[in-house]
Amino acid sequence: MMAMAQLVRQLVFLLVIFHYSIAADTLNPNQPLRDGQTIVSAKETFALGFFSPGRSKNRYVGIWYNKLQPGGQKIIVWVANRRSPLSGTNGSLELNGNGSLTINSMMFLPMPMVTLTNPVTQVLDDGNFVIKEANGSEFAWQSFDYPTDTLLSGMKLGWDLRTGLNRNLTAWRSYDDPSPGRCVLSIDLEGIPQANFWSGSTKKWRSGPWIGIQFSNIGEQPRTYGLRFGFVHNKDEVYYMYNTTGTEFVSRALVDQSGKVKDFVWFEKTGMWNLFLYYTMNECQEYSRCGSYGLCNIDVWPICSCLQGFKPKSPQEWPLMDAMPGCERLTELDCKNKSDGFMVVTLAALPETINASLYPNISQNECRGRCVTPRPHSRAR
C-alpha cells in the first residue's frame, strides 16, 4: 500500500510538472509565462520574458537577443507593456483561449479581431512574436506590427493603408524607462512618402523620397555587407524594410532618446555591437538647416548659401549662423515670358514635395514643359 501511495504521488508530481512546463518557443492557453521564465526561439536567437531596464525596479515583458549580450547586458528589441509597467515580480503573460494576450489579466496592445479555435503564441528567430492557429502559418497578430524603438530585418516601417496601422519607431523616455519618449521615426504620406524624424513637434531630419535603391538624402548604404533595402508604395501599403542576406550577419536600427537614428552590426570577433551608420551625421543633415532655397555645405564657412537667383531673406542673421528663414527670389518668377529655366544642382537634397504637383508617369522634358507653361488659376509649384 505504501508503494502504491508513493507511485500515485510521483504520478501527480509528474502531471504538475508537465502542466507548467513551457515549450522552447511557444506559449499555449492556460500555460502562463511567469516572471523568471522565458521562451526562446527555435535557433535560440531571441528570448522573451520579464526584465527591469537600467536601475528601474519596474517589470516589463520584452524580447531580447538571447546570446548577443556584451558584458551580460540584454539588448531589448521590443517591449510589450511599455505604457503599463508592473511594480512587482508577480507578473504573468497569458494567452487566452480566444487568442488574446494579457499581462496580469490586462490587455496591453490591440489584439486579433478574429477568434481562434486553437491559438498558440511563438517567438520566431527573426524576433517576431506571433499569435496563430496551432497548425497554421498565417499570423493573427504579430509584435512586428507594434514596434518599440528598434527595427529588425524583415520588419516594416510604415503604413497598412487598409487598416490605418502606422508602424513607427519611438525612442525610450530614458535608459531606465521604456515608455514612449519624444523622438519618433515614421513614414510621412504627404507628397512623395519619406521617412521623417521628429523630436516632439519639431521635425529634425528627413530621408527624402525613395529613388529606387535608397532614400535620396541618405548616402550610399552598405549593400555589399549583406543588407538589402526596399520600399513599397501601393494602394494597400507604404513601408520601408531591410533584410539581411546572410545568416551570419546581424543588424538592428535604433531610435534613441539622444535624438539619433543608429544602425548597428554585431561583430563576432569582438563580441560587440558596432555603430556603422547614424543620422543626423552633421549640421547639413538637420532639417531645413539653411531654410527655403538654401544650400548647406559642411566643408565651407559659412555653411549656408542661397541657390543661384536667390538672396538671404534675413541677411543680418546669416553671420550669426541663423539661416532658418532661408532665401528669397532676386526677381519674381516669370513663367509667362519663359525667361526662367532650369539648372543642375549637384550633391543637394531633393526638396520637400508636400506642396508639389505629382506626375509619376511623365518624362523630365514633359515635367519641364509643364513647369514653364502657365496654367490659369494655378499656383507655381
Cα–Cα distance between 124 and 340 in angstroms, integer? Answer: 58
Q: Which of 301, 299, 296, 251 minimizes the C-alpha distance to 277?
A: 251
- 241-261 pLDDT, tens digit each: 988 766 567 889 999 888 889
Q: Which of 48, 27, 64, 41 minimizes the C-alpha distance to 124?
A: 41
Lowest mean pLDDT among 201-205, 226-230, 253-257: 226-230
Average pLDDT estimate for 158-169:
95
Cα–Cα distance between 356 and 144 in angstroms, integer? Answer: 33
Cα–Cα distance between 21 and 18 in angstroms, integer? Answer: 5
In eight-state DSSP terms, residue 138 is S
Compare 2 and 147 and report the one with higher pLDDT.
147
Lowest mean pLDDT among 33-47, 187-201, 264-278, 349-363: 349-363
Q: What pTM does this model have?
A: 0.83
Predicted confidence at residue 115, as pLDDT, reads 82
Task: Record the cell numbers describing residue 36, joined without a space.
Answer: 523568471
Predicted confidence at residue 221, as pLDDT, reads 58
Compare 80 and 283 and report the one with higher pLDDT.
80
Task: Record the cell numbers describing residue 337, joined without a space.
Answer: 515670358
Predicted confidence at residue 291, as pLDDT, reads 87
Distances (CA, A) of 32 to 84, 85, 97, 105, 117: 19, 18, 12, 11, 18
Compare 280 and 151 and report the one with higher pLDDT.
151
Q: Which amino acid is at 225?
A: Y
Average pLDDT estimate for 303-319:
84
Predicted confidence at residue 23, as pLDDT, reads 54
177 forms bridges with which residues in the sheet?
174
Set out the domains of the chain in order of their start, with CATH numbers.
1-146 (2.90.10.10), 148-281 (2.90.10), 283-381 (no CATH)
Q: Is 291 left (phi over 0), alpha (psi -120 to 50) or beta?
A: left
Residue 222 has pLDDT above 90, yes or no: no
Residue 348 has pLDDT above 50, yes or no: yes
Average pLDDT estimate for 357-379:
70
Predicted confidence at residue 152, as pLDDT, reads 94
Residue 318 has pLDDT above 50, yes or no: yes
Task: Record the cell numbers describing residue 194, joined without a space.
Answer: 519619406
Q: Report H helices in the chain.
A: 2-20, 364-372
Cα–Cα distance between 44 and 26 in angstroms, integer? Answer: 13
Residue 49 has pLDDT above 90, yes or no: yes
Inter-residue contact 121 to 102 (CB < 8 Å): no
| Percent of the chain topping pLDDT 90 | 37
Residue 75 has pLDDT above 90, yes or no: yes
Inter-residue contact 109 to 205 (CB < 8 Å): no
Greatest distance between any 2 Cα atoms in the chain? 111
Task: Record the cell numbers describing residue 149, joined without a space.
Answer: 524603438
User: Peptide bond before 85: cis, by omega within 30 degrees of 0?
Assistant: no
Residue 14 has pLDDT above 60, yes or no: no
